[in-house]
Chain A
Amino acid sequence: MNVSALHAATSARAAAETTSVGSPILNISIFGAFVAITLIIVLRASRNNKTAADYYAAGRSFTGPQNGTAIAGDYLSAASFLGICGAIAINGYDGFLYSIGFLVAWLVALLLVAELMRNTGKFTMADVLSFRLKQRPVRLAAATTTLVVCFFYLLAQMAGAGGLVSLLLGINDKVGQSVVIAVVGALMIIYVLVGGMKGTTWVQIIKACLLIAGAAVMTVWVLALHGFNLSELLGAAAARGGEAVLNPGLQYGISEISRLDFISLALALVLGTAGLPHVLMRFYTVPTAKEARRSVVWAIWLIGVFYLFTLVLGYGAGALIGADAIKAAPGGVNSAAPLLAFELGGPLLLGLISAVAFATILAVVAGLTITAAASFSHDVYASVIKRGKPAPGMEVKVARITVVIIGIFAIVGGIGVQGQNIAFLVALAFAVAASANLPTILYSLFWKRFSTRGALWSMYGGLGSAIFLIIFSPVVSGSETAMIQGVDFHWFPLNNPGIVSIPLGFILGWLGTLTSRTLENPVVAAEMEVRSLTGHGAEGATTH
């Protein structure tokens, strides 16, 4: 996901002068087939979309395994697939470090967040955070952080789509790429508008299966070429890329600052996942907390196995194609996986893998959009503006309008950030999730004294400090890959603000609570605790 981040940054820039590999027509037809099949499924799935619970939470009708697969589909973005493979192919061991952070992060979600959230909330993260605190200010703050995280994540995905297209379809000019971004955006709007959460979930399930199956086939293939011996594969990669690819430090061992930056990133990764709103929202699509637990277990196994595949694929690309050839190829570092597919199975396998990569972007974008729309219509419109009493049917209507607006913003923004530093956008999303959302989530679930002031300080402070530090970091100005070239106003040395903004979010929540004069209602706090642990009163599946 955000790995693309660091790598796609370069590739997006390189994308301008690229040519395609394989057959663009084949790539487009396979992708077209995916779109056609998923659209039919979305249409069929959407027949029962009547209430808000149907639209936002798919009627809570998914099983744990289904939802777990969808979570994997949501989490394993094209960037995760292309980015990690490329990172390992070129930087060797340092690329592997990302997958570990992404995976271990799920334990935070499993142990501390998933079930308790499912038991206390209804549709959005704000449901849980505002349960025993003052509704309107807390909801507004939670909706703000949700929208900010979703929006930056969305922009990164859209920008990634543009870069990917240039590689796979041979569309090199800016106008052509903009058209493709608009097409991706329009498709996404249709999926979400028509299918709601149910349709979106099915798209993610199908995509996750395709992605994991594709990666599995390539992994077995690569291993077969090396006598099913990992050591032999590593040896081949080292022979081509130098002994250093097997050891840590190639990318992050350059200076003390880069080492510190890595710690900051590691912190944001491991704590960010459980605060990502589109991941949290998936817990509401299952009928019970037990199913939420099963979802996370499935997600952990699928994501973990997938990252093991990428280890083999990355070293395989390093061994069979070579780091220099990958860097020189169109799409740069992100082209490792497609190039490996081409090397192994020719144009057909390349076409399949490319279509999967597209499908991946589409599914992730759809998941983000529905989360943002739900947050706006449920938290801002229904709860804050209409004070919890929206006219019947209006909430879903507002959600649908929001989908279209967000879609248009994402398309325009995606075209605007073409060739921009994607690291900026995704690092922001992860850092904001970890700094603004996670402290408040954990405090409200586990600390009875936690107060409204603590929540507001933590959310706005975490959000503000993360964004503030990124603005004055090398990703925005003063480095070769900076968003704004020609000026240098950076004074914060790290690319990722996590090491400062995450502790700050926790400290502000604690400080705000200690300085609160008004105590929160202890009866509601007791209710929340009882509900969160027992699942009493949690909304179950809707039946039609």
Chain B
Amino acid sequence: MSNGAHQSDAGLPITDFPAVENSEKFRLLKRRHRSFVFPVAFGFLVWYFAYVLLADYAHDFMATPVWGNINVGLLLGLGQFVTTFGITTWYVSYANRKLDPVAEEIRSELETQEGVNR
């Protein structure tokens, strides 16, 4: 098995992964991860398809001039860039604050544990 994932050298799993999976700490990590990425992914996809549908079916609305030659369509399009950059920055700061420390804790616990088991 080339990803070497499923077995230790002895052929037995060193770590009790189901136990880790059910631990309080891991559940917290999973909850924090999913409660961020799922709603945000849903949100930006809705906003993207709303924009696509407007550009596809609401030409007059998109052509409304706002300032000089800049119209609603261009502003909404540039808005997609802004939200993409914004979500990127938001996620990174969230991951650094809320995800990485917990993940790191679990990882180092597992590593010490495996050291003992060996």
Question: Which positions in A face B, CB cutoff 8 Å?
Answer: 93, 96-97, 100-101, 103-104, 106-108, 110-112, 120-122, 127, 130-131, 135, 229-232, 234-235, 238, 246-249, 252-253, 259, 262-263, 266, 270, 290, 293, 296-297, 300-301, 304, 307-308, 378, 382-383, 388, 446, 522-524, 526-531, 533-537
For A121, give its contact among B3, B17, B77 (CB under 8 Å): B3
For A533, give its contact among B26, B63, B70 (CB under 8 Å): B26
Question: Which positions in B face A, CB cutoff 8 Å?
Answer: 1-6, 13, 15, 17-18, 20-21, 26, 29-30, 33-34, 37, 40-41, 44-45, 48-49, 51-53, 55-57, 59, 62-63, 67-71, 73-74, 77, 80-81, 84-85, 87-88, 91-92, 95, 100, 103, 106-107, 110-111
Q: Is the CB of B67 within 8 A of A527?
A: no
For A231, give its contact among B52, B56, B67 (CB under 8 Å): B67
Main secondary structure of the interface of A (DSSP, over half): helix
Q: Is the CB of A535 within 8 A of B37?
A: no
Residue numbers in A under 8 Å from B88 (CB-CB): 106-107, 110, 296-297, 300-301
Q: Is the CB of B85 within 8 A of A301?
A: yes
Residue numbers in A under 8 Å from B55 (CB-CB): 93, 97, 248-249
Q: Is the CB of A103 within 8 A of B81?
A: yes
Known A-B contacts A93-B73, A235-B68; A259 and B5 likewise in contact (beta carbons under 8 Å): no
* A194 and B67 alpha carbons, distance in the complex (Å): 55
For A248, give its contact among B56, B69, B91 (CB under 8 Å): B56
For A263, give its contact among B53, B85, B103 (CB under 8 Å): B53
* A259 and B37 alpha carbons, distance in the complex (Å): 30
* A427 and B107 alpha carbons, distance in the complex (Å): 41
For B2, give its contact among A96, A122, A235, A296 (CB under 8 Å): A122
Q: Is the CB of A259 within 8 A of B80?
A: no
Q: Is the CB of A252 within 8 A of B56?
A: yes
Q: Is the CB of B103 within 8 A of A535?
A: yes
* A235 and B67 alpha carbons, distance in the complex (Å): 12
Residue numbers in B under 8 Å from A523 (CB-CB): 13, 17-18
Known A-B contacts A111-B37, A122-B3, A533-B29; A246 and B103 likewise in contact (beta carbons under 8 Å): no
Q: B48, B59, B106: which has the most chain A beta carbons within 10 Å?
A: B48
Q: Is the CB of A249 within 8 A of B59?
A: yes
* A290 and B41 alpha carbons, distance in the complex (Å): 19
17 additional contacts, CB 8 Å, given A122-B4, A246-B63? A93-B74, A100-B77, A110-B88, A112-B41, A121-B3, A231-B67, A232-B68, A232-B69, A247-B73, A253-B59, A259-B56, A296-B88, A383-B2, A526-B21, A533-B33, A536-B106, A536-B107
Q: Is the CB of B77 within 8 A of A131?
A: no
- In the A-B complex, the 9 residue pairs with the smallest Cβ-Cβ separation, listed nearest first, are A231-B68, A234-B69, A247-B63, A527-B17, A526-B17, A248-B55, A526-B21, A526-B18, A111-B37
Q: Is the CB of A111 within 8 A of B41?
A: yes
Q: Is the CB of B41 within 8 A of A304?
A: no
* A523 and B17 alpha carbons, distance in the complex (Å): 7
**In chain B, what residue has the closest Cβ to A527?**
B17
* A93 and B13 alpha carbons, distance in the complex (Å): 57
What distance in Å separates the Cβ of A191 from its nearest Cβ neighbour in chain B? Answer: 26
Residue numbers in A under 8 Å from B68 (CB-CB): 229, 231-232, 234-235
Residue numbers in B under 8 Å from A120 (CB-CB): 5
- Provide 5 A-B residue pairs closer than 8 Å at the C-beta atoms, listed in order of the A residue: A100-B77, A107-B84, A527-B13, A531-B5, A537-B5
Q: Is the CB of B69 within 8 A of A378?
A: no
What distance in Å separates the Cβ of B44 from its nearest Cβ neighbour in chain A? Answer: 5
Q: Is the CB of A270 within 8 A of B48?
A: yes
For B84, give its contact among A96, A104, A229 (CB under 8 Å): A104
* A440 and B95 alpha carbons, distance in the complex (Å): 25
**In chain B, what residue has the closest Cβ to A231?**
B68
Residue numbers in A under 8 Å from B41 (CB-CB): 107-108, 111-112
Main secondary structure of the interface of B (DSSP, over half): helix
* A127 and B3 alpha carbons, distance in the complex (Å): 6
Q: Is the CB of B5 within 8 A of A293?
A: no
What distance in Å separates the Cβ of B5 from its nearest Cβ neighbour in chain A? Answer: 6
Residue numbers in B under 8 Å from A100 (CB-CB): 48, 51, 77, 80-81
Residue numbers in A under 8 Å from B106 (CB-CB): 530, 534, 536
Residue numbers in B under 8 Å from A112 (CB-CB): 37, 41
Q: Is the CB of B107 within 8 A of A535?
A: yes
For A246, give its contact among B5, B13, B44, B71 (CB under 8 Å): B71
Residue numbers in B under 8 Å from A96 (CB-CB): 74, 77
Residue numbers in A under 8 Å from B2 (CB-CB): 122, 127, 378, 382-383, 388
**In chain A, what residue has the closest Cβ to B33?**
A533
* A106 and B85 alpha carbons, distance in the complex (Å): 10
Q: Is the CB of B71 within 8 A of A103?
A: no
* A130 and B1 alpha carbons, distance in the complex (Å): 10
For A234, give its contact among B6, B37, B70 (CB under 8 Å): B70
Q: Is the CB of B73 within 8 A of A104?
A: no
Q: Is the CB of A530 within 8 A of B20?
A: yes
Q: Is the CB of A534 within 8 A of B29?
A: yes
For A388, give its contact among B1, B18, B33, B110 (CB under 8 Å): B1
* A230 and B63 alpha carbons, distance in the complex (Å): 16
Residue numbers in A under 8 Å from B59 (CB-CB): 247-249, 253
Q: Is the CB of B84 within 8 A of A103?
A: yes
* A537 and B44 alpha carbons, distance in the complex (Å): 32
**In chain B, what residue has the closest Cβ to A261?**
B56
* A527 and B13 alpha carbons, distance in the complex (Å): 10
Known A-B contacts A534-B29, A534-B103; A293 and B1 likewise in contact (beta carbons under 8 Å): no
